[in-house]
Structure 1
Amino acid sequence: MSDELLVVRAQLGNRSALEDLVARWQGPVWLYVRRMLDAERADDVAQEAWIAVVRALPRLREPDRFAPWLFTIVRRAALNRLRGQYSDRHDLVGGFGNGLDRPDAAGPDPVDALVDRAEMVGRLAALPVLEREVLVLHYLEDLSVEDCAQVCAVPAGTIKSRLNRARRMLREHVEEEGELT
């Protein structure tokens, strides 16, 4: 059964359809959150996101766009947790930028050198939030540039810029590791 049909049935009150939808997307949601946050917070944030999804599902007007809509909510939950973390650090340190409002800049080259997915996930943790997020959504969650733009609430051109910058940063990180070993 398609996501669209499950969404419509869930909106009509079919509990089984909602359970099927959650079962289908629970893994990808948790993996996305885990890639954005540490393991300690991933379970809580994923659960918070699912609560928000269930509450908002009746208002979803385009059931065929469920995946981008879902990841928009999950992204918001993860960013809220990160903002809380950065806010706490700001209070403790007396001034700490969260990097969420940096201007975008384009950069070259793809991430083709990273064949091993687990290795890539480990390297993603070293990237700033915006760059990590766009790589996770595009390459690991297989969302199109347009869907990533919808999830992140930015133009597609911004996503392309972030992807290029993230690829460059990841490449530089890989090259630095190569020089160290």
Structure 2
Amino acid sequence: MSDELLVVRCRLGERDALAELVRAWHAPVWGYVRRMIGPAEADDVTQEVWLAVVRGLPGLQQPERFTPWLFTIARRAVTNRLRAEYARPEVAADAEPVTPDPAEALVDRAELLAGLAALPAREREVLILFHVEDLPLETCAVICDVPVGTVKSRLNRARRLLRAELNRKEGRP
């Protein structure tokens, strides 16, 4: 069943339709959030996203644009969390570092995730949306509220920065 039809059914009050939307989109949203802010807060922020979705579905005027709308909500929740995090005073350098998800024990994947975490938020975001979530450039542009050309340039910069970070970690020039 299409997302558009599920959204219409949700707006008519069908709880099963909402459950189907959550089943279909929870993992991609959670993955995006986790990659943007880390695993420690991903569950809380994802829950905030779904709460905003439930509250906002009655006002969604274009059900066919559900995916960009959903990821825009997720982006806003991530931005709010990052803003709150940056406002906190800095913690001592000997604080416990964020540990990778134990399910991702493969060394290459861990290195990739560490490299991804080292990228600036804007570049990390477009890389995740485009390559990890497999969203088209146009959808990424809508979510990030920038032109498609800006998404392309951020992707290009993100790839360069990621390559440089991975090379630096491996001791290559």
TM-score in terms of structure 1 length: 0.81
Opposite residue 46 of structure 2, the aligned amino acid is A
Opposite residue 58 of structure 1, the aligned amino acid is P
The equivalent of 2:165 in structure 1 is 173
Check 1:21–1:128 CA distance in 2 against 1; reply closer, same or farther (3 A cut).
Answer: same
TM alignment of 1:9-88, pairs within 5 A: 9-88=9-88
Deviation, structure 1 residue 89: 3.4
Instruction: Say if 2:137 is the partner of 1:140.
Output: no
Deviation, structure 1 residue 5: 0.8
Q: How many Å separate the matches in 2 of 1:128 and 1:142?
A: 20
Instruction: Say if 2:150 is the partner of 1:158.
Output: yes
The equivalent of 2:105 in structure 1 is none
Q: CA RMSD in A?
A: 1.9
Q: How many Å separate the matches in 1 of 2:110 and 2:40?
A: 19
Q: How many Å separate the matches in 1 of 2:112 and 2:72?
A: 23
Which of 113, 121, 141 pairs up with 2:113?
A: 121
Q: How many Å separate the matches in 2 of 1:26 and 1:42?
A: 11
Whether contact under 8 Å (2:69, 2:143) holds in the other structure is yes
Check 1:51–1:26 CA distance in 2 against 1; reply closer, same or farther (3 A cut).
Answer: same
Q: How many Å separate the matches in 2 of 1:68 and 1:81?
A: 20
Question: Sequence identity, in percent?
Answer: 60
Q: How many Å separate the matches in 2 of 1:118 and 1:58?
A: 40
Count of residues in Structure 1 that have an aligned counterpart in Structure 2: 157
Opposite residue 19 of structure 2, the aligned amino acid is E
Opposite residue 38 of structure 2, the aligned amino acid is D
The equivalent of 1:111 in structure 2 is none
Which of 131, 152, 170 pairs up with 2:123?
A: 131
TM-score in terms of structure 2 length: 0.84
Whether contact under 8 Å (2:112, 2:166) holds in the other structure is no
Alignment gaps of 5+ in structure 1: 93-115
Opposite residue 150 of structure 2, the aligned amino acid is T
Q: How many Å separate the matches in 1 of 2:68 and 2:133?
A: 10
Deviation, structure 1 residue 117: 5.4
Residue deviations 1:96-130 (CA, integer Å, cap 9, x gap): xxxxxxxxxxxxxxxxxxxx655433321111111
Alignment gaps of 5+ in structure 2: 92-107
Residue deviations 1:45-100 (CA, integer Å, cap 9, x gap): 0001110011001111221121111000001001100001111238x8xxxxxxxx
